[in-house]
Amino acid sequence: MKNRGTAAVAALVLGVAAGGVLAQAKPEILVKQRQAAMTLQGKYFGPLAAMAQGKAPYNAEVVKRNAGFLDNLSRMPWDGFDPSTKDVKSRAKPELYSNMGEAKQLISRLENETHKLYEVSQSGDEAAVKAQIGAVGKACGACHDKFREKQ
């Protein structure tokens, strides 16, 4: 029971509801979580975009690390775009929720381009990496242009 006790403490510490994995999170929590994933994608993609644009010196180690993080982060936001969240204040346009088919295509594109970036980053070919950073940026933008309100 030691492990159960420990896990109970962890759940308490993290503010995890006792409902378990199948309980649907509240819409506000889903939005907070998806926005967190977007924030971190920005944190780790920003320096790569700067390198690809020549605004920062190329650093292969940073590229490898960030590309690995992004390969994970690019899979995290999407379950947060649940239909239950459509009335929660955010920059998601209403038409996102009625065009999930198109959204899913754009999501797959981002996931695929980001995974390619991770793979290319391992080779250390700077030109190929910079081209792929551009492809990831385009994939981000394609969905934002379509489904995110301008600020």
Distance CA 132, CA 94 (A): 31
Q: Which residue's entry shows tokens 């996931």?
A: 111
78 binds a second copy (CB under 8 A): no
CB of 42 to a second copy, least distance (A): 5
123 binds a second copy (CB under 8 A): no
Sequence-distant (≥ 6) Cβ neighbours of residue 88 within 8 angstroms: 27, 28, 30, 31
Span near a second copy by CB under 8 A; candidates 66-74, 96-104, 106-114, 115-123: 66-74
SS3 26: coil
Q: Binding marks (x or -) toward a second copy, 82..121, rule CB under 8 A?
A: ----------------------------------------
Instruction: Name the site residues for a second copy (rule: CB under 8 A).
Output: 2-4, 6-11, 13-22, 32-33, 35-37, 39-57, 59, 62, 66, 68-69, 72-73, 75-76, 130-131, 133-138, 140-141, 144-145, 151
